[in-house]
Amino acid sequence: MLESMVTITEAPPLWRDAERCYRVVTARDSRFDGQFIMAVRTTGIYCRPSCPASTPKAQNVRFFPTSAAAQANGFRACRRCLPDAVPGSPDWNVRADLASRAMRLIADGTVEREGVPGLARRLGYSERQLGRVLTAELGAGPLALARAHRAHSARLLIEMSELPLTDVAFAAGFSSVRQFNETIREVFATTPSQLRVSAASRRGRQSDVSGTRLSLRLPFRPPFDASGLLRFFAAYAVPGVEEVTSETYARTLRLAHGTGVVRLTPLPDHVRCELRLTDLRDLGSAVSRVRRLLDLDADPAAVTRVLGADPALAPLVAEVPGIRVPGAVDGEELLLRALLSEVPLGEDVPGEWGVTRLFPTAAEVATTGHPVATALAEGRLEVHVGRDAAELRAELPAYVEPSMADYVVMRVLGAPDVLLSDDTAVRRGAEALGIAPDSLAERARAWTPWRSYAGMFLRHAAGSP
């Protein structure tokens, strides 16, 4: 089931193909924003591919896989196109290698909380091995990647809040105000206070932030099937933990430094994300988890090219453009809610947007004698975004049915190539399209590496969220 998640990593990453990248930049194709970074030698600035500035000459540009790599090579972020304010690279889900797993954990704030030793431990590598692989694959080591992530979180707080800049520094994960000031100057070629002033004048607005409340814009690559996600969340919502309407999705979050409540409202060109956090150090992690939940870093054009070539799926691909695979905000929660027939009450939180309590921890569920919760609470089973897909898939059948293991890998890791062929709705949808269930696995070979999305289309054909 997971073989293709390994084999597709053999294809060279886009950023190494300078000719193709330059064609994308010349066309200002926003579909590629977040998939690589363009740096201009003559200006010392790096941009997103769709930057509206004049296209530089080909001999004056370099391409990098990440903002951190561009920063490590002495380039500063473009203040016109804001290259960090784009959807993330879909490579981190398509690829199943060490670099992609590390990027997911770094985005979740692991380095800020546990340092590079903690990141290496979660990935099962030594610090030296990890640094060598990340530098070779991404052009920057774990500290540089985490620094770029902190700079992005800091920019959000500087531009979207009225927090004192000293508070912004520590909320974004910097160890000192001096480190914060130096990083902002190096990355954005301006001071934090100037960045705040220019942001206010550029946008003509400031945030709806009061204390720990923020309202952010989460970008995605269109099209985006928001209604399909909302129907899915509504069908499986946990009362008190989640509240779903035809236009919004709200839920509580259990985060490293405290709790949070988020309400998500899909709009034509972004998702409005309203957050209330007890500790602003959790901002980056909260945003990262919400993006994974909504599959906002997906590449719908790539999905369409592959699945639209199948005559049976083509009408569905046209009917439901931009379909997404729902992710998860927490691996342990996803596994437990899939197994529990009734979710025990979790900790109460101040009510807002119709949600009033947290999903219980594995330790809380373990008090009922649940074996999987006990394994999670004791650390014998770890389910988080930094796990290797094949290793996690091999461990889970000791605790759950193989079909459940596939489901967990697909949603927790955002694995794009897992077909839930035993799922009743998937089999029903296949039959509705004239695909015999016995031949589904063979037919699905042509759907690689997007079989998770094919499964969503089949569920749609069966009338199931």
Residues involved in catalysis? 47, 423
d(CA 98, CA 6): 11
Please report how many Cα atoms fall inside a 13 Å half-sphere around the Cα of residue 32, on the Cβ side: 24
For the chain, the straight-line distance linking the first and the last C-alpha, in angstroms and rounded, comes to: 23
